[in-house]
């Protein structure tokens, strides 16, 4: 019998972990910069199209095109659910709420994932995980209540609608995780990534063309979307799957806890966004609740 491979030491994946958190934290900044001039749907469309242009040749180079053709319907669906809809929702939300607030809400994705897995996959949580779910949802409610104003902001979008859009994106991410686990478990990760970007591009191209801005966006906005597509989507996917391989899925998933730190930092430095004590308190409650609900932390022995 062959010996089991030894897990790589923390230093072997710690750099990937921090770099990925920094990259995904920047996605909120770049999306905000692009959405102001492009609008939500064109922003999401450009992001996934850029990523698709980079990832699809990699699939061909690695000889995985047959797998992509075999599973194209499922990866197209997962592309809309895991990329197209969430990216458009966050682009919409960032027009009226801060990058830090949207990133903190995004940190609750693993918690929503635990609920979906419980209902759909019958993965019943333990007592401490149920406590975590209650705590996490309480933190989300506290944060949403603070921003729950239906009075339109300067962008014309009420913050409450923006918060709801972020939560819809989180639910989409959670559903896509369980769908992938159930229907795409044996599909190579690169095929799923590239196929989902192609599927999201196909779903967004017509709405984006219809809602394309009348005035050509600035070079700054174009660069922001190219960066979010190349760095925060294509490169981030590759880093994430390498992190899963080297550190395991539980540690890879916990990167979402570090993302808000970078998002808040970028928003404060580059956009002059304010960070309130209430936001930090709610973020702490959400992160602790999510860690408990996913089993990364446990109550008692």
What local confidence, expressed as pLDDT, does residue 10 receive? Answer: 55
CB atoms within 10 A of CB 122: 7
Percent of the chain with pLDDT over 70: 91
On the 0-12 / 13-18 / 19+ scale of CB atoms within 10 A, 120 is: middle
pLDDT band for position 7 (50/70/90)? very low
CA distances from 133 to 20, 22, 45, 104, 254 (A): 25, 26, 33, 16, 16
Residue 143 has pLDDT above 50, yes or no: yes
Q: Note whether 64 and 188 are within 8 A (CB).
A: yes
Q: Which residue has the higher pLDDT, 85 or 300?
A: 85
- The predicted model scores a pTM of 0.87
Mean pLDDT of 182-192: 87
Mean pLDDT of 152-173: 86
């Amino acid at each position: 019998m062959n010996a089991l491979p030894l897990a790589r030491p923390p230093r072997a994946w710690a750099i990937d972990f921090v770099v990925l958190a920094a990259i995904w934290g920047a996605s909120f900044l770049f999306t905000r910069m692009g959405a102001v001039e492009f609008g939500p749907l064109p922003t999401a469309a450009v992001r996934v199209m850029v990523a698709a242009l980079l990832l699809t040749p990699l699939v061909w180079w690695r000889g995985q095109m047959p797998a992509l053709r075999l599973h194209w319907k499922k990866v197209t669906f997962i592309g809309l659910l895991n990329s197209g809809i969430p990216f458009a929702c966050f682009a919409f939300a960032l027009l009226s709420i801060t990058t830090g607030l949207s990133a903190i809400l995004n940190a609750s994705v693993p918690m929503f994932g635990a609920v979906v897995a419980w209902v759909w996959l019958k993965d019943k949580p333990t007592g401490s995980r149920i406590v975590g779910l209650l705590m996490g949802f309480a933190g989300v409610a506290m944060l949403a209540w603070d921003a729950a104003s239906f009075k339109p902001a300067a962008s014309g979008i009420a913050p409450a609608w923006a918060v709801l859009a972020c939560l819809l994106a989180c639910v989409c991410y959670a559903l896509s995780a369980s769908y992938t686990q159930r229907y795409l478990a044996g599909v190579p990760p690169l095929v799923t990534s590239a196929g989902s970007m192609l599927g999201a591009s196909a779903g967004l191209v017509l709405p984006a063309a219809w809602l394309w801005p009348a005035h050509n966006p600035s070079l700054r906005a174009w660069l922001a979307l190219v960066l979010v597509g190349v760095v925060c989507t294509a490169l981030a996917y590759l880093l994430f799957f390498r992190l899963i391989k080297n550190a395991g899925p539980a540690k890879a998933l916990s990167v979402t806890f570090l993302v808000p730190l970078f998002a808040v930092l970028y928003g404060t430095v580059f956009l002059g966004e304010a960070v309130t004590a209430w936001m930090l308190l709610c973020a702490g409650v959400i992160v602790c609740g999510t860690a408990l609900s996913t089993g990364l932390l446990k109550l008692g022995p």
